Structure 1
């Protein structure tokens, strides 16, 4: 699929720009600022610095998760950014943040951009669809990684490795949804490609998926609620 090829290339260029970096089995440092300039209400647990969903937690709080946490039919939010449905969300961010609405829109243009408009996860099978085609693979857990971001907060990537399926389906997928223990995801950021380590360094491009049965207006409402 075109987007999968582009994302693989983009992730490789990004990694080359950063330079080589060591990634341990359980924790890696991300040299760029965290790519998610938004907060979430997935958890109300707080420590002295902030909430788990904001990236403040202890390593022992992180638990393994199964692919079933992301089971379902999911839609990309990128088309809603393009058609103006999320303009109110950008305006809201500008009222409470350090960028203008247009600057936020440009930031999310980079983050959300993808032509993989639909993802379906059932059992161990993950399907990736764009306007022209669908590829699929069977995936199994490949552990998780704790990332430390430039501004001091952290995140967890849950990694799954392809064990069979279409050649064009990515070798690895990595979920980030600001949840660090087993729980059903309400939306997520997904990273995919053929190099596990390169994907861990990607912090600026994070295609984002919400349930496919939500309208654009409902997606916007969900974002504003967070």
Structure 2
């Protein structure tokens, strides 16, 4: 099983060029959330939330939208905390709970268990390393999924810091314009275009202060 490691580029699954339809299970990890916790996040129009919007609505976002300390949800999947989420998905979805767990095992997998974003500096933590670098905006790209809906990757390029830090990071959440992220999927590596083609592995991060039970509750509220 491939893992998203600090400074590594992952490619997997069936991929097409950015901007074309991508073979993916409706990109369901990016859409359809509802919320019930008191950590703040900007409201999003439902159509935008579901991935239907006009190009003109998309605006570049600052790194401050992702400010804070974040935890990977992958350990929560591994230790069983997210099992109720998989059961909930199976109740109305087209997979069994075990099949959903396997799907998210591939999607969430990463060695980067936590991330700190403060100012223009990002610190990546895995079991062996703490790697830090500064980043600046490198614009955005709009992607079209197989289902017909779309998403936006907000891209940042390394401007200084540790050599081992990835040259590019790409955030994907429900927003298409400036607003505080409440969770995000992160793609990171050294090849900007290759990252845009990654559709099977999307390490996902929630605020570090949330308990595992709160993360599960938030996901079930989708």
**TM-score, reference length from structure 2:** 0.89
Cα 1:29–1:106 change in 2 (3 A) is same
Partner of 2:193: 197
- 1:31, CA displacement in angstroms? 2.6
Q: Counterpart of 2:165? A: 169
1:40 aligns with 2:33: yes
Displacement after TM superposition at 1:44 (Å): 5.3
Q: CA deviation at 1:30?
A: 4.2
CA deviation digits over 1:6-42, x for unaligned, max 9? x41x32xx39x647x4x5xxxx224322443452247
Q: Is the 8 A contact 2:140 2:153 kept in 1?
A: yes
Deviation at 1:54, TM superposition (A): 1.3
Contact in 1 for aligned 2:22/2:199 (Cα 8 Å): no
CA shift, 1:45, in A, is 2.5
8 Å Cα contact 1:30-1:201 kept in structure 2: no
Deviation at 1:188, TM superposition (A): 0.3
Aligned to 1:4: 6
Residue 66 of structure 1, CA deviation: 0.2
1:29 to 17, 20, 24: 20
Instruction: Name the structure, 1 or 2, with higher relative contact order (CA <8 Å, separation 6+).
Output: 2
Q: Which residue matches 1:143?
A: 139
| Distance (whole Å) between structure 2 residues aligned to residue 177 and residue 204 of structure 1 | 16
- Structure 2 residue 64 is the aligned partner of structure 1 residue 68: yes
Do 2:108 and 2:203's aligned partners in 1 also have CA atoms closer than 8 Å?
yes
Unaligned runs of 5+ in 2: 35-41
Q: Could you tell me how far apart the structure 1 residues matched to 2:107 and 2:28 are? A: 8
Give the TM-score normalised by structure 1: 0.87
Q: Are positions 1:222 and 2:218 aligned together?
A: yes
Kept in 2: contact 1:43–1:53 (CA 8 A): no
- CA contact under 8 A between 2:21 and 2:148: conserved in structure 1? no
Count of paired positions:
211
SS of the aligned residue for 1:3 comes to coil
Give the deviation of 1:2 after TM superposition: 7.9
1:100-111 correspondence runs (5 A):
100-111=96-107
Runs of 4+, deviation exceeding 3 Å: 34-38, 41-44
Identify the structure with the greater helix proportion: 1
Note the residue ranges of structure 1 that are not aligned, 5 or more in a row. none
Q: CA deviation at 1:3?
A: 1.5
Tell me if the contact between 1:35 and 1:111 (Cα under 8 Å) persists in the aligned partners. Answer: no
The alignment yields a C-alpha RMSD, in angstroms, of: 1.9
* SS, match of residue 109 in structure 1: helix
- Is 1:123 aligned to 2:119, yes or no? yes
